[in-house]
Amino acid sequence: MAQLENETIRLRALEPEDLELLYRWENNPELWSLGNTMSPYSRYILKEYIRESHRDIFDLKQLRLMIELRSTGAAIGTVDLYDFEPHHRRAGIGILLEPVYQGNGLATEAMNVLMDYAFSFLKLHQLYVHIPVDNEASKALFTRCGFTVTGIMTDWIITESGYSDVLMMQKVNKQIV
C-alpha cells in the first residue's frame, strides 16, 4: 500500500484542531479566484466538513488531506483529490501551501506522495489540474511532477482584469489499463 508520507512530509486526515487553519485558508479572498468560491465559509460549515471527512473518496468524490511537516508536526497546507470518477479512474488534483513554506520543494514532495497514493492505492489512470495561464508557480510545480498541458480553456475564469484562460494539465498512469 502507498504510504502517505516520506522523510519530510506526512499527508494526514483532517482533525478538529485544523478548524482555524481551514477557516483562514478558505476565507482568503486572494485564493477564491483559483477555485469556485464566491463567499466566505462559516466556522460551523467547516466544522461540519471536518466532521464528515471520515467518509471515503468513493462516497464524497473528494479527499482532502493536510500536509504536515514530520519534523515539527506543523500543518503547512492541504492537498486534494476532487471530482473523483471511479468508473473512469480519474480525479482532479490541487494543492495549497502556506506562503512561508513555498519555494523549497515541499509542494513537489506533497504532490509526489499524493500521486503515489492515487496511482498505486486508488489505481487511478489519470490526474488532472486546471491552472490559470498566468500562474507560473503552479505550472512549474505540475510540470516538475510530470503533468503535461493537454488543452486551454478560453475565458474560463473571471479575474479582476477580466476573463482569463486556464490550462488543462494531465498526468496519465500508463501502468493502469
Section 95-106 average pLDDT: 94
- Compute φ and ψ for 59, nearest 5 degrees: -85, -50
Average pLDDT score over residue span 66-79: 96
Nearest C-alpha neighbor of 9 from the set 58, 100, 51, 72: 72
- Comparing 160 with 83, the larger pLDDT belongs to 83
Q: Is 174 exposed, middle or buried (0-12, 13-18, 19+ CB in 10 A)?
A: exposed
Mean pLDDT of the chain: 89
Q: What is the pLDDT of residue 147?
A: 98
Stretch 93-100: mean pLDDT: 94
- 3-state DSSP call for residue 131? strand
How long a stretch of residues is the chain?
177
Strand 90-97 to 126-132 pairing = parallel
Instruction: Write out pLDDT tens, residues 14-47.
Output: 999 998 888 888 887 776 666 666 677 787 877 7
- Counting other chains too, the contacts that 115-120 makes at CB distance below 8 Å and 24 or more residues apart are 115/145, 115/146, 115/171, 116/2, 116/3, 117/2, 117/4, 117/11, 118/81, 118/91, 118/93, 119/2, 119/173, 119/175, 119/176, 120/1, 120/2
Q: State residue 36's pLDDT score.
A: 63
pLDDT digits (tens, 9 = 90+) for 140-168: 999 999 999 999 999 998 888 899 999 99
Q: Place 1 in a pLDDT band, splitting at 50, 70 and 90.
A: very low
Q: pTM score, two decimals?
A: 0.89
Sheet holding 75-85, edge to edge: 9-12, 63-69, 75-85, 90-97, 126-132, 162-172, 148-159
User: Is the pLDDT assigned to residue 177 strictly greater than 70?
Assistant: no
Per-residue pLDDT averaged across 114-120, rounded? Answer: 95
> For 120-141, what is each residue's pLDDT tens digit?
999 999 999 999 999 999 999 9
